[in-house]
Amino acid sequence: MAAAEVAGWAIAAFLSGLALAGGRLPPFYFWLAAAALGVAAWLTHRRIWIAPVILPALLAGIAYYGAYFRLKYSGWNLPAGEFSAVVVTEPQFTKTGSQAEIILNPPHRGRMLAWFPAAKEVNFGDKLRGQGSIFPAAAEKDLPRIMFRGLEITAAGRGNPAVGSLLRVKTASLDLIRRALPAKEASFMEGVLLGYRNDFSEGLQTDMKLSGTTHLVALSGYNISILVLAVHSLFLGLLSRRQAFFLVAAAVLLFSILAGAESSIVRAAVMGLALLLAKVLGRPGSFGLAMLWAAFGMTLWNPGALFEAGFLLSFASLLGIAYVAPAIQAAANFRGKWPRFFEFAAMTLGAQLAALPVIAAVFGNFSWLAFPANILILPLIPVLMGLGFALLGVLYICPSAAGILGVISEPLLKLVLGLMHFFAGLSAPVNLALIPAWAVAAYACALGIFSFAYARKK
């Protein structure tokens, strides 16, 4: 295990270096990160020879961040006048328009985030021609933005064929859901199953925000892990651990395909399966190392992923499920009825507690009622997703028989939406943006010490 321990701490230091470079933090934080990692390595393993790898790995992370973006932007040639481009991501819609990423055609070169007016319907793979106002990227990890003027769609179907096929499957699935369920229930089912939020009403968005349940449709590692663990537990009584694992892995692959296999979904699937693999192997402690390797691979491909809200929420909440939740269970020493419900409640609470620093940094507001809301709603989500996938399967094979599953899933959807509305009405959001950074750091350290103390006792 010595080599694995060294690799794990080296990766943690490398990721810290990426964070320091991307956050443009002063040198003081470099030495603070080095000291914190060194002390943590010593307390965990009592092996002083792990510490010397931390400083070089920190420097490597800082150097890699700068080199990656210098190389990425070195050949870019952004337009000053008229240009041509292809839409390469699925457009996301708002009241005033839509936005999607575009790749410029020669003689220009580069990638931008484009904003399109509501009057112009743009789809994946469309070839565009026009002019626009270009706004420079705020940081290296961000894309330049362009607001089009005089936009013309000159061709369609020019995107990646594989991505186009996946999006067509997703579009077909969305159409089937809309035909089987009422509008409000259908929009929420679209969000839970496929991460599609373009059909959400203002009322639904407000209820989810105030009740702290927006993450239910974010398709993060947290959501997929809850689904993975629930489905694995269901099949474990019928199959061996290995058979159940491969069946769940196939289900996650199918889920990723139906949702369009976007980068955020693929990352969440990898993280969720890493948690399940550690559980199947009977080594919960190996999950941290698996997560570090997964994060290392993702950030090598794109260091900017480390600063995406979805990545951070997935990473933090999964660590909460793996380490904070068992500590809560041990501290509570629950021996009453419904042990499965208590285990699920501990997972929910552990994930929420671990994600709080990220929520403070990214969103600013948090409702304490999110804890009871999620404890009541989350156990229903795997059931809802199972019914949703069954509904889709029946609709694809025999559309006329889908009414039965629609009748079954609609009351459950109404219950979940009703709970969200109830907790939204009681909500009293806390402005976490007013909490100083040192207090957030102290909270994260206290949570880590709590989990570490449990691990030492075990």
What does pLDDT average to over the chain?
Answer: 78
Weakest mean pLDDT among 175-189, 254-268, 319-333, 440-454? 254-268
The pLDDT of residue 363:
67
**pLDDT of 1 over the 50 cut:** no
pLDDT digits (tens, 9 = 90+) for 403-413: 777 788 889 99
Q: Would you say how long the chain is, in residues?
A: 458
Average pLDDT over residues 140-163: 82
Weakest mean pLDDT among 32-46, 278-292, 425-439? 278-292
Average pLDDT over residues 433-441: 73
Model confidence band, residue 415 (pLDDT cutoffs 50, 70, 90): very high
Model confidence band, residue 337 (pLDDT cutoffs 50, 70, 90): low
**pLDDT of 291 over the 60 cut:** yes
pLDDT digits (tens, 9 = 90+) for 9-38: 888 889 888 888 887 877 777 777 777 777
Model confidence band, residue 237 (pLDDT cutoffs 50, 70, 90): low
Average pLDDT over residues 255-284: 68
Model confidence band, residue 221 (pLDDT cutoffs 50, 70, 90): low
Q: Which residue has the higher pLDDT, 60 or 268?
A: 60
**pLDDT of 419 over the 70 cut:** yes
Q: Which residue has the higher pLDDT, 104 or 333?
A: 104
Q: Of 44-53, 109-118, 133-142, 437-446, which has the strongest mean pLDDT?
A: 109-118
Model confidence band, residue 63 (pLDDT cutoffs 50, 70, 90): very high
Model confidence band, residue 217 (pLDDT cutoffs 50, 70, 90): confident
The pLDDT of residue 413:
92
The pTM assigned to this predicted structure is 0.72
Q: Which residue has the higher pLDDT, 280 or 315?
A: 315
